[in-house]
Chains A and B, each alone.
Chain A
């Protein structure tokens, strides 16, 4: 057990801190940059390397730069890097390279030799992450924590990946260095999609500064007829889904739509019960998440990870379920929120 904290300041010194995780990601990306430059058959060697270099830079030197030259200047060079990254990807300057791939027979015979032990490292990642999150989150020696207290899951995941790498080394005789080299094939096949989630977070930030939410709220209010309960429910649920599709995130849509439609017209206007209203409203937003490329980490990155020809296929497969659930949500909400 940790000793009670005497002062009010929370000590955030940690071995696996978020800064160290960013440094680690930076080193991994830079290692891939070097490997890309060594790839003699790579069709777009220099521009691909530059693309990942600009990205890795933000991880490797971002926090250091904030400490040395301040936030303002750091954000400026990161901002210009982001634009350069977008231009490189936008004009098709980033591509796959060449990789040493063992033959299918070789893979089959390796798989047969190692057997089900091959699954162990893959299973270890989630299991170790959960165990660490549940049991080791408070471990500290003299207020130096093992895990960053604000990012326990991420820190646990990082540790779990390390453990899995070592176990994989033992079973496959493939060293962590070889693992890093092999990961270039995966990272390159994901390509620009790896960076899209962060780009979208950036766009969301600009939308907030530009008050885009208020503009959408005003737009939605044009369609309101305050007395028609059913249409108000439809407007709130569909509004949540559409707004989420635009922002890529139901959390961004929720305060705007709830403050704009649900609170004044449903709760205050018609005395709707708040708990089912917000719970079902949020889930209507999730229906939107399933249908938009803006939620890249759920919909576009997996398509890249799974090497799908159509990058929108995950969305297409999710579409019928999302629409069905949106309709169910509307009727469910209409059925349960009104007491009279």
Chain B
């Protein structure tokens, strides 16, 4: 029920879906209220988000800073474009590693699904090459690097 799916769409899109056992209002709030975002958007174990700025209004700023507590860290900046409580969020984000990566335009929708929610996150990258690089960073297809490694081990 809760399984995540990731698929590509056209040249520039990546679509992630996930079901949650809570109504859209709760899932939406967990994406927009900093004190809630800080509890889950943390990546691997051991990482925390000491800075979470989330101005949930059109034009509002987003800034997430992550640290592993051992001197490692990176951050993300972005801006909200559109918010429809509790069904839709449109924002732009970019990772800084530490140089800014290309903008990722993200539309997240929260649809009622029984007593729960179906979340669909649709990312749009500036061009096919950027998406290829992003896919190479772990999103389902574009896993040639892993296949290469697998082949070297066989």
Q: Do A and B bind each other?
A: no
